[in-house]
């Protein structure tokens, strides 16, 4: 590992990979996982379409108007310029913090550095498929997987300092994923492709101070929008530094403090990140570092038949990899609840689940939730901290009113991860939960059927039509 200036030209390697990538070269397993990621992403667009933050962006896009490139989510047949459509879609896809996450097996990594890989490249591909006309399912799938690969490798190779400085990878590195997918469908190559990545390097942004607010999902919306913009500007001849990922003032050095030199030999597309180490599809709409503890709490309250009225106190022991980003001691609204262990564990105790119905202001602000949250105290555990930040470990100690104590620990395997993945049936259940009350059952089933054969679609823009509420 080095804190210095990367010696290898990552930009040049990325461009060579993007130019040469093609559907026929994709491993079958990469295509299989891509279908799952695409289905998950489309369902999350629908779930996010009725969020207040997305409704604000839809109203703003209506007012701005412009060229009719792509459908405006939640606005029927209304079309808007491609970047504007991408902003709304990308924000909707991350609005519930339910979108998939990248996996790393590097013990030096922290989970927060790893990006939510699907939404930026999927958004860019979906918007560009509409703008360009007929884009085959094969080309659409290839553009998506290519974007995920470049985005994930950049995130994997950068030093964890990127996240520790307070940057949000899904907003920063996600911009490159969207740029790559858009550029691939535009057929950019040579200098124009390098310039697209250079433009993206200056547009990439997102800071963690906005976690728990409407602006957190906007990071992903802007990554999607900026990626489409970067590719379209480059196509028109707009220029940037052709090696913008590298060097003293390049993205990796400036935003990440350097690169793990030994990893560069992995290259792009030699091993596909979507396959190895893989992608986690989230069972809960909250930060990935909370899921292990939520499952542990679910196990505890269901197996021990805990009556919420008997809970006196909950002590939650964890390392800084959970306690630093999950920063709200008590959640006062549904956005804060995604980053509050008190909020997340309280809803499991009270409802035995944590889905769209629980992440509402009405439920979070209810007397029962506010009371249960205040019964939970978090503790930085030295023994857990000493074991490292690459695995999400925690311990729940629940004291009941009769003085008895129940204990449950969370360890390495977690539901949704590559080692314990959701089945296709489970994923379809998540799609149903995301679209309930927004799409009818017939339309939901059409979405599922279309994605399971996405590579055979004659026109991938059909997917954008199917998810319109």
Residues 42-83 have pLDDT tens digits of 999 999 999 999 999 999 999 999 999 999 999 999 999 999
Q: Are residues 366 and 442 in the same domain?
A: no
Q: Are residues 376 and 305 in the same domain?
A: yes
Q: Are residues 211 and 305 in the same domain?
A: no
Residue 77 placed within a domain: yes
Contacts of 323 (CB under 8 A, 6+ apart): 341, 378, 380
In whole angstroms, give the CA distance from residue 289 to residue 434. Answer: 21
Give the per-residue pLDDT at 106.
84
Q: What is the CATH number of the domain that holds 292?
A: 3.30.1330.120
In whole angstroms, give the CA distance from residue 421 to residue 414. Answer: 8
* Res. 5 pLDDT band, cuts 50 70 90: very low
Residue 2 placed within a domain: no
Q: Are residues 265 and 312 in the same domain?
A: no
**Domain range for 173:** 10-283+420-466
Give the per-residue pLDDT at 2.
46
In whole angstroms, give the CA distance from residue 210 to residue 281. Answer: 23
Residue 415 placed within a domain: no
Report, as an integer, the average pLDDT of 232-248. Answer: 96
In whole angstroms, give the CA distance from residue 209 to residue 219. Answer: 12
Q: Are residues 67 and 170 in the same domain?
A: yes
Q: What is the CATH number of the domain that holds 237?
A: 1.10.4100.10
Q: Are residues 340 and 248 in the same domain?
A: no
* Res. 132 pLDDT band, cuts 50 70 90: very high
Q: Are residues 325 and 457 in the same domain?
A: no
Statement: residue 1 has pLDDT above 50: no
Report yes or no: 396 and 296 within 8 Å, Cβ to Cβ.
Answer: yes
Residue 219 placed within a domain: yes
Report, as an integer, the average pLDDT of 195-217. Answer: 97
Contacts of 417 (CB under 8 A, 6+ apart): 103, 278, 280
- Among the residue ranges 14-23, 110-119, 137-146, 420-429, the one predicted with the least confidence is 110-119
The count of structural domains within the chain is: 2
Q: Are residues 299 and 259 in the same domain?
A: no
Q: Is 166 left (phi over 0), alpha (psi -120 to 50) or beta?
A: left
* Res. 112 pLDDT band, cuts 50 70 90: low
Higher pLDDT, 268 or 3: 268
Report yes or no: 289 and 392 within 8 Å, Cβ to Cβ.
Answer: yes
Q: Are residues 310 and 392 in the same domain?
A: yes
Report, as an integer, the average pLDDT of 338-357. Answer: 95
Statement: residue 275 has pLDDT above 80: yes
- Angle at which helix 119-132 crosses helix 215-235, to 10 degrees, equals 40
In whole angstroms, give the CA distance from residue 330 to residue 138. Answer: 47
Give the per-residue pLDDT at 412.
65
Number of helices (H) and strands (E), helices first, in the chain?
21, 8
E runs forming strands in 345-440:
376-380, 394-400, 405-410
Residue 3 placed within a domain: no
Query: Cα separations (Å) of 392 from 7, 108, 275, 321?
Result: 33, 13, 21, 7
Q: Are residues 309 and 324 in the same domain?
A: yes
Give the per-residue pLDDT at 279.
94
The token pair at 174 is 């996600």
Three-class DSSP category at 312: strand
Residue 342 placed within a domain: yes
In whole angstroms, give the CA distance from residue 109 to residue 101. Answer: 14
Q: Are residues 272 and 361 in the same domain?
A: no
In whole angstroms, give the CA distance from residue 466 to residue 469. Answer: 8
Residue 5 placed within a domain: no
Q: Are residues 68 and 124 in the same domain?
A: yes
Q: Is 462 exposed, middle or buried (0-12, 13-18, 19+ CB in 10 A)?
A: middle
Report yes or no: 327 and 289 within 8 Å, Cβ to Cβ.
Answer: no
Statement: residue 441 has pLDDT above 90: yes
Residue 382 placed within a domain: yes
């Amino acid at each position: 590992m080095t804190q210095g200036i990367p010696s290898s030209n990552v930009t040049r390697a990325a461009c060579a990979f993007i130019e040469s990538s093609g559907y026929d070269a994709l491993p079958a397993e990469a295509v299989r996982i891509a279908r799952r990621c695409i289905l998950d992403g489309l369902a999350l667009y629908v779930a996010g379409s009725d969020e207040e933050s997305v409704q604000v962006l839809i109203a703003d896009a209506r007012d701005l108007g412009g060229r009719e490139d792509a459908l405006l989510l939640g606005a029927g047949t209304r079309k808007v310029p491609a970047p504007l459509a991408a902003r709304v879609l990308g924000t909707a896809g991350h609005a519930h913090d339910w979108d998939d996450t990248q996996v790393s097996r590097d013990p030096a990594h922290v989970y927060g550095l790893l990006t939510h890989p699907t939404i930026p490249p999927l958004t860019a591909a979906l918007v560009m498929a509409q703008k360009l006309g007929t884009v085959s399912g094969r080309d659409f799938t290839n553009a998506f997987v290519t974007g995920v690969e470049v985005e994930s490798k950049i995130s994997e190779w950068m030093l964890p300092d990127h996240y520790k400085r307070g940057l949000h990878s899904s907003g920063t590195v996600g911009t490159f994923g969207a740029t790559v997918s858009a550029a691939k469908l535009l057929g950019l190559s040579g200098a124009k492709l390098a310039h697209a990545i250079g433009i993206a390097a200056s547009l990439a942004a997102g800071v963690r101070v906005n976690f728990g607010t409407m602006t957190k999902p906007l990071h992903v919306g802007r990554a999607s929008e900026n990626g489409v913009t970067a590719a379209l500007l480059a196509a028109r001849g707009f220029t940037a530094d052709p090696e913008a990922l590298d060097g003293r003032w390049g993205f990796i050095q400036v935003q990440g403090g350097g690169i793990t030199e030994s990893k560069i030999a992995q290259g792009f597309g030699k091993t596909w990140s979507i396959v190895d180490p893989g992608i986690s599809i989230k069972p809960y709409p909250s930060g990935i570092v909370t899921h292990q503890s939520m499952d542990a709490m679910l196990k505890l309250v269901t197996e021990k038949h805990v009556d919420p009225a008997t809970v006196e106190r909950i002590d939650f022991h964890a390392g800084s990899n959970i306690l630093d980003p999950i920063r709200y001691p008590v959640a006062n609204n549904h956005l804060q609840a995604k980053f509050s262990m008190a909020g997340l564990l309280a809803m499991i105790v009270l409802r035995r689940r944590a889905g769209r119905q629980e992440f509402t202001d009405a439920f979070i602000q209810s007397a029962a939730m506010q009371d249960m949250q205040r019964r939970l105290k978090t503790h930085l555990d030295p023994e857990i901290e000493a074991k490292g930040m690459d695995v999400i470990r925690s311990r729940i100690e629940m004291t009941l009113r009769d003085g008895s104590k129940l204990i449950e620990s969370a360890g390495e395997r977690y539901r949704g991860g590559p080692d314990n993945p959701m089945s296709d049936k489970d994923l379809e259940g998540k799609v149903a939960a995301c679209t309930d009350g927004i799409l009818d059952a017939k339309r939901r089933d059409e979405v599922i059927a279309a994605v399971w054969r996405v590579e055979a679609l004659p026109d991938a823009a059909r997917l954008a039509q199917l998810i319109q509420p």
